[in-house]
Amino acid sequence: MSNPSRQKGTSEETRIVRAWNQYFDAGHDVARRNPAAAPFDVTVEVGVPIHPPIQVLATRADRGECLYTLRELDFMHLFGNYEFHVDTPVHIEAKRYKRFSLHSIFREKFGS
């Protein structure tokens, strides 16, 4: 039997892949799980990549909502390049901590 923490990880990866594929409903899979040796768990490619990848940390507490963490410039790039920004407000809650575990996880995985 798998380690319970590993089971959570692989089932969460599968849940993310299904959610992205269902959202885009493109007739083909836009999201896929990566091999265990890959540096990250899931890749999403809707079209032909022309920009560097956006690096995102997805976290979810047991029976909680999935939250995505990404760099500020990546978020601004996403928001600024799509038509929805004209009439879609952005609500941002700001917190600053001396130490915060999500930042540590993100830096370990993606650097900077």
What local confidence, expressed as pLDDT, does residue 109 receive?
A: 85
3-state class of 85 per DSSP? helix
Q: Is the pLDDT of residue 84 over 70?
A: no
Burial class (CB in 10 A: 0-12, 13-18, 19+), 30: middle
Overall average pLDDT of the 63-92 stretch:
80
Overall average pLDDT of the 55-74 stretch:
89
The pTM for the full model equals 0.78
Residues ≥6 apart with Cβ < 8 Å to 41: 9, 13, 16, 33, 34
pLDDT > 70 fraction of the chain, expressed in percent and rounded: 86
Q: Are 59 and 69 in contact (CB under 8 A)?
A: yes
The residue ranges of every structural domain in the chain are 1-50, 53-112
* Spatial distance between the Cα atoms of 76 and 96, rounded to a whole number of angstroms: 19
What local confidence, expressed as pLDDT, does residue 6 receive?
A: 56
Query: Can you spell out the DSSP letters for 25-59?
Result: --SS-SEEEPPTTSSSSEEE-SS---SPPPPEEEE
Q: Are 58 and 31 in contact (CB under 8 A)?
A: no
> In the structure, what pLDDT confidence band is assigned to residue 19 with cuts at 50, 70 and 90?
very high
Give the H or E element holding residue 108: helix 101-110
